[in-house]
Amino acid sequence: MSDSGQHKPTVERYAEADLPSRFGPFRIVVYRELGGDKEHLAVIAGDVEGAEDLLIRVHSECLTGEALHSLRCDCRDQLDLALERIQSKGTGAVIYLRQEGRGIGLGNKIRAYAKQDEGLDTVDANLALGFEDDQRGYQVAADMLRDLGVRSVALMTNNPRKVAGLEHGGIKVTRREPHEVEAHEHNREYLKTKQDRLGHLGTNGDPD
């Protein structure tokens, strides 16, 4: 997707290589934020240059869920489902953003967990620590997609803020693809809070 020239990119392409996985073959591209050292990933299946209506997911890092298999959320399940759906289609991408804990960082996310253990929901836990309910941004994701030459996307999400964020960043979202996994006893209240207080869509809740 061409840049209008009015927006200065927030990231630059830094490294890339093939990435075989249990879901199938991907190409992984690392982007580094300009003026900083934070790195984000594009995990790509097929040829996305010039793609329209490309199936994608914008996914925020969740070390506790994805690496440690925490049951407080279902971020790992959401990521796995996105990779499966992309491989099934043959073309698509996961834009993996390093913005842990809805943008507050790993240490503060664990502090928020402690507040939740005291009875607060996920929104009030963040607010009690002096943060917004969700501090993530999506300009980086839009810039990564633009650099990859993607013209428009079908976005796998239950979070309307992601749709708005990509469109604000200049990426055309042709449609929202519902992206739900099953809730369970450990994350059901967490997912309900997402729907009730953050406006997420779906029947099971959503960990976006």
pLDDT bracket for residue 34 (50, 70, 90): very high
For the whole model, what pTM was predicted?
0.84
Return the domain boundaries, the chain. Answer: 11-99+138-198, 107-135
Q: Is the pLDDT of residue 2 over 50?
A: no
Poorest-pLDDT segment among 52-56, 116-120, 169-173, 202-206: 202-206
Question: In whole angstroms, what is the distance from residue 80 CA to residue 186 CA?
Answer: 19
Question: In whole angstroms, what is the distance from residue 35 CA to residue 50 CA?
Answer: 28
Q: Which residues share a beta bridge with 156?
A: 177
pLDDT bracket for residue 3 (50, 70, 90): very low
189-201 pLDDT tens trace: 555 555 444 445 5
Catalytic position from the list 74, 134, 206, 208: 134
Q: Which residues contact 184 (CB under 8 A, 6 or more apart)?
A: 71, 74
* 152 phi/psi in degrees, rounded to 5: -160, 160
Structure tokens at 92: 């698509």
Could you please state the CATH topology (level 3) that the domain comprising 11-99+138-198 is classified under: Rossmann fold (3.40.50)
Catalytic position from the list 57, 111, 136, 146: 136
**Other Cβ atoms within 10 Å of 67 Cβ, number:** 10
* 66 phi/psi in degrees, rounded to 5: -80, -40
Question: In whole angstroms, what is the distance from residue 125 CA to residue 104 CA?
Answer: 12
Mean of per-residue pLDDT scores for the chain: 86
Known active-site residue 134: yes
Known active-site residue 121: no
Q: Which residues share a beta bridge with 41?
A: 30, 96
